[in-house]
Chains A and B, each alone.
Chain A
Amino acid sequence: DAGVIQSPRHEVTEMGQEVTLRCKPISGHNSLFWYRQTMMRGLELLIYFNNNVPIDDSGMPEDRFSAKMPNASFSTLKIQPSEPRDSAVYFCASRTAGRNTEAFFGQGTRLTVV
């Protein structure tokens, strides 16, 4: 398997624009996580899905952020409208259900909002 695939790897956008980040989890994994990483706040859990269903979105910072998982092989994180403080690295991770299963991370999307 190619691992968790995220796109784009880098995104530069202007304040106020809509940004969509994409994630393809590892085939067979039924849990998917979205994280935001900054120097100040570390690795924050934004939202996670089990079997394509959002379980907990309490980490989503504002209504400007939304996430979907229309099927088992694709998820999106959308920011609309984007703001400079949204600049961060966004990671997607997936894992299988089970007591001792680890999460595998994608390479991340570095978002810069100017």
Chain B
Amino acid sequence: QQPVQSPQAVILREGEDAVINCSSSKALYSVHWYRQKHGEAPVFLMILLKGGEQKGHEKISASFNEKKQQSSLYLTASQLSYSGTYFCGSMGGGADGLTFGKGTHLIIQP
């Protein structure tokens, strides 16, 4: 089952903050965040693991609520380069594959 992302789209002015949410109906082992620029491949941003471990981009922060099966990505003081589509990916335990939500389109205006 695909994770569910919200909002579907966000338009910000440069310097403003944004939060992108991700939730799953199944138990999560890890949450992965990726960003995709138009015409390019998705690029890794961050992994959050059950138990609190994180790995990822220095300038991006995220949270993972294991009990609620939810994660949020926090983009602060947004820059023009942050524009793109953000995908939340989930993996359950065992041999689960990496399944993505439908994405959140982020547009940063000068």
Binding site for B on A (CB under 8 A): 33, 35, 41-43, 45, 48, 50, 55-56, 59, 91, 93, 95, 99-108
Q: Which residues of B contact A (CB under 8 A)?
A: 2, 30, 32, 40-44, 47, 49, 53, 55, 87, 89, 95-103
Assembled-state Cα–Cα distance A55/B97 (Å): 8
| A43 vs B95: C-alpha distance when bound (angstroms) | 19
Nearest chain A CB to B83 CB, angstrom units:
17
A100 engages B47 (CB within 8 Å)? yes
In contact, B53 and A99 (Cβ under 8 angstroms): yes
**Most chain-B CB neighbours within 10 Å: which of A50, A56, A99, A101?**
A99
> CB distance A33 to B97 under 8 Å?
yes
Tell me, in angstroms, the Cα distance from A95 to B55 when the chains sit together: 15
Give the distance in Å from the alpha carbon of A50 to the alpha carbon of B49 in the complex.
20
Closest residue of A by beta carbon distance from B48: A100
On whether the beta carbons of B41 and A108 are closer than 8 Å, the reply is yes
> Judging by beta carbons under 8 Å apart, are A43 and B53 in contact?
no
Complexed CA–CA distance, A107 and B39 (Å)? 9
B40 to chain A: which residues have CB within 8 Å? 107
Q: Do B98 and A33 touch across chains, with their CB atoms under 8 A apart?
A: yes
Partner of A43, one of B30, B43, B47, B100: B100
Whether B103 pairs with A43 at a CB distance below 8 angstroms is yes
User: Which residues of B lie under 8 Å from residue A108 when comparing CB positions?
Assistant: 41
Return the chain A residue nearest B101 by Cβ.
A42
Of A93, A103, A104, most B-chain CB atoms within 10 Å: A103
Contact status B97-A48, CB under 8 Å: yes
In the complex, chain A residues whose CB is within 8 Å of the CB of B101: 42
6 interchain residue pairs of minimum CB distance: A42-B102, A105-B41, A102-B44, A48-B97, A43-B100, A100-B55
Cβ-defined contact, A100 with B97, below 8 A: no
